[in-house]
């Protein structure tokens, strides 16, 4: 399968714990995005990388959230000291080099439940 993959698919954690999610984009896609989606809402943009550079961060990304893409390939999203409000689906997407308006390819998401 050559699509965007995310790991884990599901994560249940207790409030106050740290969690880390991984996203593997489609090979040769230099742009990578993180979104968050809560029940009944559309996805909300969190952050965006072009290669290893983090070019934009949403105000939704509090200081408890950090994202990295160290070698311009896979990316990780870490949430420290999780809160119940962090429960959501975390989606990763990638797009190829070229026009900024290129199609984004989404992964299946990681569903986080904070107890």
Partner 1 sequence: DAKTTQPNSMESNEEEPVHLPCNHSTISGTDYIHWYRQLPSQGPEYVIHGLTSNVNNRMASLAIAEDRKSSTLILHRATLRDAAVYYCILRWDTDKLIFGTGTRLQVFP
Looking at the Cβ atoms of 34 and 114, the one nearer to partner 1 is: 34
Q: CB of 15: closest distance to partner 1 in angstroms?
A: 25
Q: Which of 21, 65, 109, 114 binds partner 1 (CB under 8 A)?
A: 109
Q: CB of 104: closest distance to partner 1 in angstroms?
A: 6
Cβ contacts of 11-14, under 8 Å, gap ≥ 24 = 11/110, 11/111, 11/112, 11/113, 12/113, 12/115, 13/82, 13/112, 13/113, 13/114, 13/115, 14/82, 14/114, 14/115
Q: CB of 32: closest distance to partner 1 in angstroms?
A: 10
List C-alpha distances in Å: 95 to 44, 48, 57, 89: 17, 11, 17, 20
Residues 40 to 99 in contact with partner 1, rule: CB under 8 A: 40-45, 48, 50, 55-56, 91, 93, 95
Which residues make up the interface to partner 1 (CB under 8 A)? 4, 31, 33, 35, 40-45, 48, 50, 55-56, 91, 93, 95, 100-101, 103-109
């Amino acid at each position: 399968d050559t699509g965007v993959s995310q790991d884990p698919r599901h994560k249940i954690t207790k409030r106050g714990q740290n969690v880390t999610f991984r996203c593997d984009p489609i090979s040769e896609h230099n742009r990578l995005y993180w979104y968050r989606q809560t029940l009944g809402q559309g996805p909300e943009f969190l952050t965006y990388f072009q290669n290893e550079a983090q070019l934009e961060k949403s105000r939704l990304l509090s200081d408890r959230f950090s994202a990295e893409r160290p070698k311009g390939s896979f990316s990780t999203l870490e949430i420290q000291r999780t809160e119940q409000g962090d429960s959501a689906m975390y989606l990763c997407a990638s797009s190829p080099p070229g026009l900024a308006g290129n199609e984004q390819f989404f992964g299946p998401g990681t569903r986080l439940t904070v107890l």
